[in-house]
C-alpha cells in the first residue's frame, strides 16, 4: 500500500528533540552532562540573553578527535554503551546518544574539540553539516548553540520569560555543583558572572553560597547505610526552613534527580518540627549499585526507579531523625546583632572565594557533633509577659516560653503514648453520656463505631442521640463530652487513613482542647511544673503544629542591644 514510510534522519531527530529539548535549560543540562562524562574538572557555561541568543559550554575534559566528533552528531552514537548488559549498569549521565543530534536538528551548533593535539571545528545547522575545519586548541570541548528553535518556531510557545528561563538554568548549575563538588563550575549571562564554584569545595560552602549563609550555618550532617544503599548529606535545623519543597536536592550516583517519595520522606521527618507548608533545605547523596536502579525511565533522565525503595525511604528517615533527636531547636530572633555577624561572614566569604580558599564552614563538622540527647537546660523562672509568655534565665541568657504551645506538646505526647498502648484501661461510665449532634452527622455514626471502639470508646446511636458507655481511663475528668464530640466529628469528617495517622491526628486535635491558653496568668509553681513536664517530652521545642515553644536570647545578644559589646 505504501502508507508506512521510514522517517528521514532529520525528522526523526526533530521528534527526539521534542522529547529531550523543551526549554533552554534542557540544552544546558545535556551539554553539561556530556562534559561531566568527559571527566572535565572545569566547566564554563556562558549565555547570551539567558540562552535565547547563545548557549556555550566549554570544558577541559578528554575531548574528541575528528572521527568521534562527527559520530557525536549521529543519532544513538555513544561512547557509554557497548552491549545490552551495559543498560543495566549505567554509570554515566548521558548514554542514549540523542542529545547532540537532537539539539543540532533544531539549531545551529558549533563544536570545537581536541584530544590535546590538533583540534577540529564542526558546524551543523538544522540537522545538516555545513562546515568542518582543522583548528588549534587545548584539550577539551567547546559547544555553542545558537538559533535554537528557529527551524521549529512552534517550540517557542513552551518558553517563558528570559528571567524564568535563566532561573531554571541557575538552578540546574546549582544542582550540578552540589552533585559534583570536585568540578569547578562558572555560569555567566551577558558576560555577568552569576555563579562560580571551585573543585574540591566543601558541600557546606556550596550550600551557603546557593541558599544563603543562614542555611550554611544551620546544616546538620547525617549518614547511614544498609545492605543496598549508602545515604549521607546535610539538612537544616528546623529553625531554618523555606516555603518550597524544591530546596530538597537528591543526588543518586552523582546524578541530580527528582523523586516525590524521597522529598516526602524527608519532609515527614520534620513533622511537628515545622509549621504547615514549611520545608527544610537539604542535600542527600545516595550511593547504590547501578544494578539496583533504572535510570532509563524518563526522556530527560530526571527520575529513577529504585529496587527496594521502601528500605531506602526507611533508611533516609532514620538517618535524619537520629540527628534531629540530638539537635537543639531553640528559636533565635533575627535581630541586629545576628545581622551584623552575618554581614561580617558574607564579606569573609566573598574575600576568600576570590582567593579560591575554603570559607567559614568546614566539612569535618560531622566529627565534632556531640552524640547526646538534647535536653532543656536548667532554668530559673522570673515571671510572665502578657499572660502568654513565661520568662526564664540562666547564665547563658534569657528564654521565653509560649505557655500554650508547651501545654499542647505535653498533652499531645501524653495522649499519643496512651493511645498507643494495647489493651488500655477503660472506664465504664456510671450512666451513659449523651452527645447531641446534628441529624446529618448522627446518620453517619454507625460507619465509625468499629473505629472508635478500637480507640477505647464504646457508644451506640439510640433515639437520635449518641450514647457513650465507656471511655479511656486517661481521659481528663470533666472533659469527656468535649473530647468525645471532637473525636466523633473528626472521624466523621476525616479521610481514610491508617490507624497510626488517625491516632496522631486525634492526639493533635485533643491536645489543643482546654490546654493552657494564652492570656492566662499562672503561678511560679505551675510554671515550673510545666517546664518539668516539657523536659519529659521527646520533642520539647515545637508544638504538634510546628510552632516554636522556646525562644533563646543570648547574654551577648542582649548586651549588644544596650551597647555593652563592641560590634
The region of weakest confidence among 43-57, 331-345, 443-457, 539-553 is: 331-345
- Strand-pair partners of 252: 255, 286
What DSSP string describes 201-265? --HHHHHHHHH-HHHHHTEEEEEEE-SSEEEEEEEE-TTS-BS-GGGEEEEETTEEE--HHHHHH
**9-196 is classed CATH 3.30.565.10:** yes
Mean pLDDT for the stretch of residues 308-329: 90
Mean pLDDT of the chain: 80
344-379 tens-digit pLDDT: 233 333 333 333 333 343 443 443 344 444 578 899
Domain range 203-324, CATH class: alpha beta
Residue 12 DSSP code = H
Mean pLDDT for the stretch of residues 318-335: 79
Alpha helices (H) along 105-202: 162-179
pLDDT value of position 534: 93
C-alpha grid cell, residue 269: 521527618
pLDDT value of position 74: 81
pLDDT at 77 over 60: no
* Span(s) in the chain for CATH 3.30.230.10: 203-324
Q: Do the beta carbons of residue 278 and residue 546 sit within 8 Å? A: yes
pLDDT value of position 474: 82
pLDDT value of position 158: 64
C-alpha grid cell, residue 100: 547532540
Please name the fold of domain 425-473+477-512.
Ribosomal Protein S8; Chain: A, domain 1 (3.30.1370)
* Span(s) in the chain for CATH 3.30.1370.100: 425-473+477-512
Amino acid at each position: 500500500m505504501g502508507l508506512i514510510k521510514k522517517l528521514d534522519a532529520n525528522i526523526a531527530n526533530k521528534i527526539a528533540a521534542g522529547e529531550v529539548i523543551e526549554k533552554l535549560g534542557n540544552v544546558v543540562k545535556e551539554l553539561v552532562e556530556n562534559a561531566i562524562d568527559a571527566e572535565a574538572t572545569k566547566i564554563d557555561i556562558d549565555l547570551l540573553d539567558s540562552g535565547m541568543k547563545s548557549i556555550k559550554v566549554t570544558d577541559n575534559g578528554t575531548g574528541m578527535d575528528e572521527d568521534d566528533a562527527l559520530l557525536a552528531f549521529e543519532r544513538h552514537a555513544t561512547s557509554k554503551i557497548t552491549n545490552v548488559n551495559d543498560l543495566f549498569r549505567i554509570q554515566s549521565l548521558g548514554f542514549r546518544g540523542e542529545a547532540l543530534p537532537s539539539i543540532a536538528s533544531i539549531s545551529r551548533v558549533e563544536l570545537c574539540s581536541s584530544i590535546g593535539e590538533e583540534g577540529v571545528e564542526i558546524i551543523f545547522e538544522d540537522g545538516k553539516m555545513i562546515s568542518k575545519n582543522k583548528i588549534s586548541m587545548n584539550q577539551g570541548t567547546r559547544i555553542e548553540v545558537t538559533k535554537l528553535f528557529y527551524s521549529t518556531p512552534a517550540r517557542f510557545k513552551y518558553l517563558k520569560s528570559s528571567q524564568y528561563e535563566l532561573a531554571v538554568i541557575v538552578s540546574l548549575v546549582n544542582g550540578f555543583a552540589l552533585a559534583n563538588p570536585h568540578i569547578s563550575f562558572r555560569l555567566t549571562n551577558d558576560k555577568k558572572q552569576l555563579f562560580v564554584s571551585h573543585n574540591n569545595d566543601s558541600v557546606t560552602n556550596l550550600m551557603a553560597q546557593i541558599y544563603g549563609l543562614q542555611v550554611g550555618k544551620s546544616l546538620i550532617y547525617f549518614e547511614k547505610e544498609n545492605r543496598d544503599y549508602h545515604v549521607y548529606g546535610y539538612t537544616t535545623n528546623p529553625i531554618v526552613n523555606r516555603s518550597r519543597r524544591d530546596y530538597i536536592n537528591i543526588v543518586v550516583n552523582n546524578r541530580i534527580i527528582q523523586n516525590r517519595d524521597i522529598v516526602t520522606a524527608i519532609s515527614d521527618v520534620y513533622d511537628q518540627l515545622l509549621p504547615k507548608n514549611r520545608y527544610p533545605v537539604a542535600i542527600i547523596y545516595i550511593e547504590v549499585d547501578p544494578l539496583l536502579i533504572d535510570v532509563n525511565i524518563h526522556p530527560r533522565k530526571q527520575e529513577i526507579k529504585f529496587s527496594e525503595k521502601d528500605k531506602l525511604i526507611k533508611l533516609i528517615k532514620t538517618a535524619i531523625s537520629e540527628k534531629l533527636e540530638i539537635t537543639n531547636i531553640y528559636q533565635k530572633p533575627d535581630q541586629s546583632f545576628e545581622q551584623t555577624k552575618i554581614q561580617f561572614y558574607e564579606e569573609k566569604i566573598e574575600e576568600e572565594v576570590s582567593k579560591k580558599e575554603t570559607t567559614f564552614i568546614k566539612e569535618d563538622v560531622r566529627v565534632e557533633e556531640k552524640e547526646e540527647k538534647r535536653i532543656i537546660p536548667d532554668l530559673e523562672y522570673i515571671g510572665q509577659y502578657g499572660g502568654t509568655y513565661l520568662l526564664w534565665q540562666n547564665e547563658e541568657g534569657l528564654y521565653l516560653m509560649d505557655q500554650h504551645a508547651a501545654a499542647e506538646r505535653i498533652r499531645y505526647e501524653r495522649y499519643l503514648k496512651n493511645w498507643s498502648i494495647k489493651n488500655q484501661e477503660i472506664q465504664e461510665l456510671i450512666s451513659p453520656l449523651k452527645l447531641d449532634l446534628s441529624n446529618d452527622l448522627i446518620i453517619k455514626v454507625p460507619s465509625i463505631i468499629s473505629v472508635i471502639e478500637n480507640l477505647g470508646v464504646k457508644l451506640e446511636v439510640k433515639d437520635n442521640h449518641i450514647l457513650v458507655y465507656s471511655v479511656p481511663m486517661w481521659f481528663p475528668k470533666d472533659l469527656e463530652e468535649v473530647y468525645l464530640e471532637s473525636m466523633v466529628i473528626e472521624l466523621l469528617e476525616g479521610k481514610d487513613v491508617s490507624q497510626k495517622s488517625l491516632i496522631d491526628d486525634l492526639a493533635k486535635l485533643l491536645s489543643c482542647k482546654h490546654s493552657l491558653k494564652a492570656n492566662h496568668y499562672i503561678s511560679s509553681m505551675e510554671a515550673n511544673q510545666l517546664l518539668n513536664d516539657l523536659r519529659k517530652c521527646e520533642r520539647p521545642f515545637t508544638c504538634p503544629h510546628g510552632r516554636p515553644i522556646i525562644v533563646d536570647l543570648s547574654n551577648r545578644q542582649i548586651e549588644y542591644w544596650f551597647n555593652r559589646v563592641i560590634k
